[in-house]
Structures are given as C-alpha cells and as structure tokens.
Structure 1
Amino acid sequence: MKSDQFLTRRRALLASAAALSAAGAAGLLALDTGDEPVRAAISAAGAPARRLPSKSSAYRLEPLTGYGPPRASPGRTLVRHEPLLKVSGRGRTMVLTFDDGPDPRYTPGILSTLREYDVRAMFFVCGEMAAENKNLLARMADEGHVVGNHTWTHPLLTQLSRSRIRSEMERTCDVIEDAYGERPKWFRAPYGAWNRAAFQLGAELGMDSLAWTVDSLDWTTPGTGTIVDRVESGAAPGVVILSHDAGGDRSQSVRALRDYLPQLLDSGYHITVPRRQYA
C-alpha cells in the first residue's frame, strides 16, 4: 500500500474502531536511561489521561501507578491482556513514538531533528512501507532508534481471522529483521484495536505490546501549533506520545517536532526508548 492510502483506510476504519475500549493494563518496562534498567509498574483505567483541546482518539486510557503481574519464564514474552500504556524512569522520562511509516517524504525530517538533539524514539512501522524504504530502517538502526511492528497493511485486527493476524505480524517481523538487523520486540495494534489473538500471537513472535498515553491527533492535520500544544500540555513523567510519520500529509508533524522537542528538553525531560523487556 502506498503511503497516501493509509489516510483513506484510517478514516474508513476509525468509525469501527471508535466502538472499541479497554481497561486495566499492567506490566513492567525498562528504559534506556543511561543507568541500570529501571522497572516501571503500569496499570490503567478507562478514562482520558489528560483533557486535550480536541476529542480523543478511539483508544485513550489513563495510566495509574500499580503493580505488574509475575514475570514470564526466561526467554519468553508474557501474554498480556492489555498493552503497556505508560513508562517510568529516573527523573522526567518520556517516550516519543511515530506510527505508520517509514515514508521518504516525512521520516527523514523526523530522523534529522532527532539526530540534531541526540534523541532516540520508537518507530512502529507497517511492513509494506518498510519493504519499500529499507534504507530508512537501516538509518533508524544506525542512529539508535527502536523499531516496532505495526502490521503489514494497517488493518483493523478485530475484523481479521487469527491466521490473517499472524500473517500481518510475521511478514512485518521478517522485513524489519532484514532491513533493521533484528526482529522487533514491540508491537502496536493499528487504531489501538487489540484483541486476545493479537496479544497471543505477538507474544509467540517475541513481542510485547505498547500503546500510548497522549495522542497528538496529528493524523487529523489540525495545524502545527495545535500538535505542539497537545504534546506540551500532555507532557509529564512517564508518558508515551503518539505521533505519525506516514499515512497522509505529515508535514505538520515534522514541523511540530522541531518546535516541541527542544522545549521538552529545555524543560528537563529525558526522551528515551526501551532498552529491554520486562514481564
């Protein structure tokens, strides 16, 4: 699928995804803070994390401090019932994530801004976009970013058979391994539409599930200033910011990052990525 088709598909499926909701997440996440791994306890309840200037997306949960379930056996990924939503580290730690790419029109600009400020981020890529832009995944590897699995065609997983979900995930794992150099350890369901099969199959493929705390809603192209305001108003220790580097015109997202990233850093936030999984 070409990048412009993602926007059409997103708008067509969002109405269905809006009926989905989830509550009660728990897990542990280690961040690359430069120190020893810091374990984060996460749980969630069904409510928006913050009041944002516009309506929230279909999947918005409020992270609350809690205790995670027991760890899985060594070498295995825990099968979760809900995704991780929030992280915790020493000090004012945040994670920036970008979905749907890579897109040669927008991803390079985001990577250049991250490199300028020596910041690492997470990119949840779609397999067919990655297959056409392997050089961008190689650059992500070279510059220390984390690449996660966002399925092959960005479908609504709750409408797919188990075998189709596996195919969407597995093909994307394969192309990430080929272009990035290792198989992904993280998975994010398109539209935040998770189901039991997605958690089970993700775990079988060695991936843990990460959602988000603050949705920039940049895919609605609300204007650069609005995206900046949403990120800055949602900024807080432990949050995971959702943005996009593909799926439509993402020029506003590229410009917004140039604005809010230095401001977050000046405010004392440590923008980081997961170093390894905890379950």
Structure 2
Amino acid sequence: MKQDQNASGRRALLRGFTAVGLAALTGCAGTDRANAPAGASPSAAPAAAGPPAARVLGPSAYRLRPIAGYGPQRVAPGKLKVRHRPILSMDFERSERAMVLTFDDGPDPRYTPDILRTLRRHDVRAMFFVCGEMAVDNKDLLREMADDGHLIGNHTWTHPLLTRMTRHGMRPEIERTCEVVEDAVGEPPAWFRAPYGAWNRAAFRLGAELGMEPLAWTVDTLDWKTPGTDTIVSRVLGGAAPGVVVLNHDAGGNRSQSVAALRDYLPQLLDDGYRITVPRRRGI
C-alpha cells in the first residue's frame, strides 16, 4: 500500500515532468499523481470503511447503459492495434451528453468503499484504474467494482514512471496487475493508463499486446493536491461536456476531499442531463 510519506517525493517527480504532457513525442496525456501522485493529506483520514453496502442496482438501470459502440473488443493478446497516443475523450453522439468518471491508484479501503456507495446510490458506473500493489490485498473491492458494473483498468503495479524504464522492466509492472485483476474478477482489464500520464512506444505496445486500450483524460481535477472539495467540484462542473473523461483519485494519499466532492458534483451532473457511463466491453 502506498504511504502518504511518499507524497512529497512523487510531487517533486511530477513537477519535473509537467512539461511532458501531450506534447511529448509519444503522446503523453499530461502529468500528475493524477495518474497517481501519492498525494498530500487534507484532514485526518476517515476510519476504515465497514462492509460494502447491499447491492441495489439492476442491469436495466438507465444510467448504467454503457456507451454504445465504443470501447475495445475483447481480443486475444497481441491482436489489438498499437496506438501512438492515448485516448483523451469518448467519441460518441454529442446529443447523448455522456461523460466518464475515472478513479486512479486504488483500491484503498479507506476511500474506495465510500466512492462505490455514492456511485451505487445514483445508479451510475465508473472506471477504476488500479495499482497491483493496492489491488492484491483488496480483491474484495475489485469484485465489488465488477459486481456493480464498473470497469477496472490497469495502472501498473507500483506506479513507476514508465518512460524511465526499459521494456523488460516495464512488462512485469503491467502484466502482474493484469493477473491480479483477472484472478479477482475473472477477466483481465481492457484499459490501461500510464502513471503520470507519461507514455512511450514501449508502453503503448505492451498495453496492446495484453489487449488493453490506452486511456488518458480530458478534465484533471488535480484532487491529489487536495485543493479543497469546492475546488474539485468546480473543476468537474466547469469542464463538463459530452465525451469528457474526468480524472479523480481514490488512493495515493488522503482522498477524503475526493470522496466529498463526488457526493456534490455527481448529482449536479445528473440534474444537468449528463449520463455518467463507461465504454462498452464487447465480446469477440
């Protein structure tokens, strides 16, 4: 499990790579521990969450419908097209007013259960990009995500800067996390997000070889900086638009602000007519 004491080191690393962004040769999506900085600490972390709340959703729930026709095929490893830059937003009809919420770095038993309860309360799905070192001891939370219809993505094992790694060193970071997810929920992830949004050719190729599409984001809440709940809410609502992918965190530091912000902005998005959904995962 990541420790808050790593936050300052990761933030320093992040600052050094902020300039990389989307302008990088390999199509970096932007940087921050928003693909996982260990994060700072706002107020004291809440007590560990109790057992998951009872499931109340049904498969026909309107807000649970996946985006039609979008998303990676469940293809055999090595058969997916190798991209040269990550997907930044979802391409579907503007009239659909659909958005995607994503959460990085977890699962963390201090914060992830509260996020899952809020999503369940509003009958919506989201995407969770998990780190293997967190997931391996919290497979129950992975199963809860899958049971509720959320998509689980790969965010590497230890959240390293992939652009500083060899392909040989990168492979187990990605492959081991795929194995943990598959062991917990019965299928490997179909989506991959590079830590810090720092991509290179090897990362794209390895992801494709393992049957995963690379997903970045459109709106960065910068919640890992703990800017305050109101600021996080304002960033989400201010960036809301059809096709937008929002970056949040459910681990990597004290995420109580992120938990509180979701409770605030999610009902507002729904009241504004947005459908919060996930890309469809289709069979071969």
- TM bucket by the smaller chain? 0.7 to 0.9
Preserved CA contact (<8 Å) 1:140 1:180: no
Matches within 5 A, 1:44-193: 75=76, 76-90=79-93, 91-193=96-198
Q: Distance in 1 between matches of 2:187 and 2:114?
A: 24
The alignment covers a number of residue pairs equal to 242
Instruction: Tell me which of 249, 262, 265 is aligned to 2:267.
Output: 262
Question: Normalised by the size of structure 2, how large is the TM-score?
Answer: 0.79
> Is the contact made by 1:3 and 1:129 (CA closer than 8 Å) also made in structure 2?
no
1:12 partner letter: A
Which has the higher mean CA deviation after the structures are superposed, 179-188 or 86-95?
Answer: 86-95
For residue 45 of structure 1, what is the aligned residue in structure 2?
none
| Structure 1 residue 34 displacement after superposition | 3.7
Alignment partners' CA distance in 1, 2:174 and 2:280: 22
CA distance in 2, matches of 1:95, 1:108: 19
Q: Which amino acid aligns with 2:201?
A: R
Could you tell me how far 1:171 is from its partner in structure 2?
A: 0.6
- Give yes or no for the alignment of 1:233 onto 2:264: no
Structure number with higher strand proportion: 1
- 2:16 corresponds in structure 1 to 16
Checking the alignment, whether the CA contact within 8 Å between 1:208 and 1:277 is kept in structure 2 is: no
Deviations 1:177-232 (A, max 9, x none): 11122100000000000000000010011111000000000000000000000000
Please, which moves more after superposition, 88-97 or 3-12? Answer: 3-12
Moved beyond 2 Å, runs of 4+: 1-10, 21-25, 32-40
Deviation at 1:12, TM superposition (A): 3.1
Between the aligned residues of both structures, percent identity stands at 66
Opposite residue 2 of structure 2, the aligned amino acid is K
| Deviation, structure 1 residue 88 | 2.9
Q: Which residue of 1 aligns with 2:7?
A: 7
Decide whether the 8 Å contact of 2:67 with 2:278 is kept in 1.
no
Unaligned runs of 5+ in 1: 26-31, 41-70
Letter in 1 for 2:17: A
CA contact (8 A) 2:67 2:277 kept: no
SS state of the match for residue 183, structure 2?
Answer: helix
Contact kept? 2:67, 2:279, Cα under 8 Å: no
**How much does 1:6 deviate?**
5.4
Structure 1, residues 81-137: CA drift from partner, whole Å, max 9, x if none?
000001133410100000000000000000000000000000000000001111100
Change (3 A) 1:111 1:199: same
Check the 8 A contact 2:66/2:279 in 1, yes or no. no
Whole-Å Cα distance in 1 between the matches of residues 98 and 18 of structure 2? 30
The equivalent residue for 1:56 is none
Cα distance, 1:115–1:9 mapped onto 2, change above 3 Å: farther
1:38 partner letter: G
Q: Is the 8 A contact 1:81 1:199 kept in 2?
A: yes
Q: Which residue of 2 aligns with 1:52?
A: none
TM-score by length of 1: 0.81
Q: Is 1:38 equivalent to 2:43 in the alignment?
A: no
Cα pair 2:66 2:280 within 8 Å, conserved: no
User: Distance in 2 between the 1:102 and 1:246 partners?
Assistant: 6
- Distance in 2, matches of 1:112 and 1:183, equals 24
Q: Deviations over 1:237-266 (max 9, x none)?
A: 110000000000000000000000000000
What residue in structure 2 maps to residue 43 of structure 1?
A: none
Q: CA deviation at 1:17?
A: 2.0
User: Tell me, which stretches of 5 or more residues in structure 2 are unaligned?
Assistant: 28-62
Specify which structure has the bigger relative contact order, considering alpha-carbon pairs within 8 angstroms and separated by 6 or more residues.
2
